[in-house]
């Protein structure tokens, strides 16, 4: 995914300083403990019954120790550890917690600061990482507690953040498992509850639900309902339904068949009377992904959706 963003440093930084300071709980556990799943499933008392969970995963690309920095008394300890990576205290953007503690946001997060300070719509969940069970530093160093497998393998850690299974053996992602539980809320819509914006994300794979992946145009070209295209597409439908007995072939056929179905649903929704989005999104990779999410949310009624999960 490799989103390049000013405040995101290399994966190296994440691995060196992020994972080694894991102190609390696994991601899925955090999700549960914070009561988000019930909140997500619960219908609000008024207004439209629609909720979307939009997940942005930086695949280890964020130097979390430089996202929120202690200021004041804590700064010296920070600077001692980080050395040449430390952010000058003066450039940090102050944020004050409910408990009246002050931290500094990375200067690149100027656009986010007002959401926390003024709008009160931003929550920061700090010091979260993969763990098998709560583990102290001493326990980690002595090996007294089991730790996630391949703890320093970047690819394994990326998977564990998505499947919340630090001991492996889990083929579903936590977003997919949520989708399994909320899928019925969208009935009778056939549109998938979970949508990956950048591709096939382990996070969205459920036991009973399959995500779709939508990135940019989702159109089967040449399907213009001329006799020629109708003849072609009718035959394509048959060919994609052929039973080959070969897993690879069936999977490829299923992918295209599913894609054509989703394309039709999206096409129908976009052609509905829903007004287009007027908001401007940055023309960055992440901006484009957010715009894609917004477009799908915009046509939620036409798609018949009440709960959706997006993964970027």
Partner 1 sequence: MKHIYFYSTFALLLTNSLSAVIPAVTIQISPTSATLRVGQTRDFNTYVANAADKTVAWFVNNIEGGSAALGTIDKDGIYKPPITIPTANVIVIKVVPTADKTKSSTATVTLENPIPTFTKLTPNQINQGLAYSIDVEGTNFLPTSKVLWDDTPITTTFVSSTKLTIKGLINAIPTGGHATLAVSNPNPGAAKSSTRTLSILPPIVVTVTPDNRSQRLGSNLDFNVSVTNNADKTVDWLVNSIKGGDATVGKIDANGLYTPPTVLPANPKLVIMAVSRVDPKATDTTNLSLLNPTPTVTSVTPNPAKIGPIALTIDGTGFAKGATAEFGGANLVVTWQSATRLTATGTIGAQTAGLARLTIHNPEPGASSAKAFFVPVKPNKELLTYSNAARFLEQATWGPTPASIAHLQEIGIDAWFSEQFATTPSTFPDPLSMGQGLSALQTAFLKNALTGNDQLRQRVAFALGQICVVSGNKTDNYHEMVGYQRMLYTGAFGNYRQLMRDVTLSPTMGVFLDMVNNDKADPRKNIVPNENYARELLQLFTIGLFELNTDGTRKVDFLNQPISTYSETTVKEFAKVFTGWTFPSEPGFQSKWKNDAYYFGDMVPFEEHHEPSAKTLLGGQILPPGQTAAQDMTAALDNIFKHANLAPFVSTRLIQHLTVSNPSAAYVGRVAAAFNGPVRGDLKAVVKAILTDVEAATPNPSNGHLREPVLFSTTLLRNLNVNVTGEPSLARETEAMGQKLLFPASVFNYYSPFYKIIGTAVTAPEYQILNASTALARANFVYHALNGRVGGVAINLITFEELAAYPDQLVDAISNTFLRGQMPAGMKTSILAAINGVTDNRTRARNALYLAGVSSQYQVER
Chain contacts with partner 1 (rule: CB under 8 A)? 1-2, 4, 10-12, 16, 59, 80-81, 83-84, 150-156, 171, 196, 199-200, 205, 210, 212-222, 227-228, 230-232, 234-236, 238-240, 242, 244-253, 255-256, 258-260, 262-263
Instruction: Concatenate the DSSP letters of all residues of 255-302 into one string.
Output: HHHHHHHHHHHHHHHHTSSPPPP-----SSHHHHHHHHHHHHHHTHHH
Nearer to partner 1, 102 or 241 (CB): 241
Shortest Cβ distance from residue 8 to partner 1 (Å)? Answer: 12
How far apart are alpha carbons 291 and 284 in whole angstroms? 10
Q: Return the axis-axis angle of helices 154-163 and 174-182, rounded to nearest 10°.
A: 20
Shortest Cβ distance from residue 31 to partner 1 (Å)? Answer: 22
Task: Centre a 10 Å sphere on the Cβ of residue 22 and count the other Cβ atoms it contains.
Answer: 19
Shortest Cβ distance from residue 216 to partner 1 (Å)? Answer: 6
Shortest Cβ distance from residue 182 to partner 1 (Å)? Answer: 19
User: In terms of DSSP bridges, do strands 102-105 and 93-96 run parallel, antiparallel, or are they unpaired?
Assistant: antiparallel
CA distances from 203 to 2, 58, 81, 110, 268 (A): 17, 13, 33, 29, 28
The residues facing 70 across adjacent strands are 103
Shortest Cβ distance from residue 140 to partner 1 (Å)? Answer: 12
Read off the tokens for 119: 């709008």
Shortest Cβ distance from residue 118 to partner 1 (Å)? Answer: 35
Nearer to partner 1, 139 or 156 (CB): 156
Shortest Cβ distance from residue 84 to partner 1 (Å)? Answer: 7
Instruction: Concatenate the DSSP letters of all residues of 17-41 into one string.
Output: IIGGG--S--HHHHHHHTTHHHHHH
Q: Is the dihedral of CA 60, 62, 63, 64 positive or negative?
A: negative
Which of 178, 187, 240 has the alpha carbon at shortest distance from 209? 178
Which of 181, 180, 175 has the alpha carbon at shortest distance from 197? 175
Nearer to partner 1, 112 or 132 (CB): 132
Nearer to partner 1, 12 or 301 (CB): 12
Nearer to partner 1, 46 or 247 (CB): 247
Nearer to partner 1, 104 or 196 (CB): 196
Nearer to partner 1, 47 or 80 (CB): 80
Nearer to partner 1, 47 or 217 (CB): 217
Shortest Cβ distance from residue 240 to partner 1 (Å)? Answer: 7
Task: Centre a 10 Å sphere on the Cβ of residue 111 and count the other Cβ atoms it contains.
Answer: 8
Q: Cα 66 from chain centroid? A: 21
Identify the H or E element spanning 311: strand 307-311
């Amino acid at each position: 995914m490799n989103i390049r963003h000013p405040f995101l440093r290399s994966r190296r930084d994440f691995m060196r300083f992020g994972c080694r300071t894991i102190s609390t709980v696994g991601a899925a556990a955090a999700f549960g403990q914070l009561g988000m799943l019930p909140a997500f499933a619960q219908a609000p008392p008024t207004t439209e019954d629609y909720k979307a969970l939009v997940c942005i995963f930086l695949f280890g690309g964020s130097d979390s120790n430089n996202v929120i920095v202690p200021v004041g008394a804590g700064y010296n300890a920070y600077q001692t550890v980080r050395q040449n990576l430390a952010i000058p205290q003066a450039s940090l953007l102050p944020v004050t917690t409910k408990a009246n503690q002050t931290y500094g946001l990375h200067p690149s997060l100027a656009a986010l600061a007002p959401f926390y300070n003024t709008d009160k719509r931003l929550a920061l969940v700090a010091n979260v990482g993969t763990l098998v069970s709560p583990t102290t530093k001493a326990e980690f160093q002595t090996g007294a507690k089991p730790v996630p497998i391949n703890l320093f393998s970047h690819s394994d850690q990326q998977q564990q953040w998505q499947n919340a299974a630090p001991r492996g053996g889990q083929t579903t992602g936590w977003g997919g498992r949520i989708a399994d539980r909320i899928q019925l809320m969208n009935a009778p819509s056939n549109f998938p509850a979970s949508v990956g914006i950048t591709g096939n994300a382990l996070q969205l794979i459920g036991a009973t639900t399959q995500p779709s992946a939508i990135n940019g145009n989702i159109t089967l070209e040449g399907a213009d309902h001329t006799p020629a295209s109708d003849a072609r597409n009718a035959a394509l439908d048959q060919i994609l339904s052929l039973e080959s007995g070969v897993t690879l072939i069936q999977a490829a056929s299923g992918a295209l068949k599913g894609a054509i179905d989703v394309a039709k649903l999206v096409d129908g929704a976009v052609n509905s009377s829903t007004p287009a989005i007027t908001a401007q999104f940055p023309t960055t990779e992440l901006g484009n992904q957010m715009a894609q999410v917004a477009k799908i949310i915009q046509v939620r009624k036409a798609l018949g959706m009440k709960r959706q999960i997006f993964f970027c």
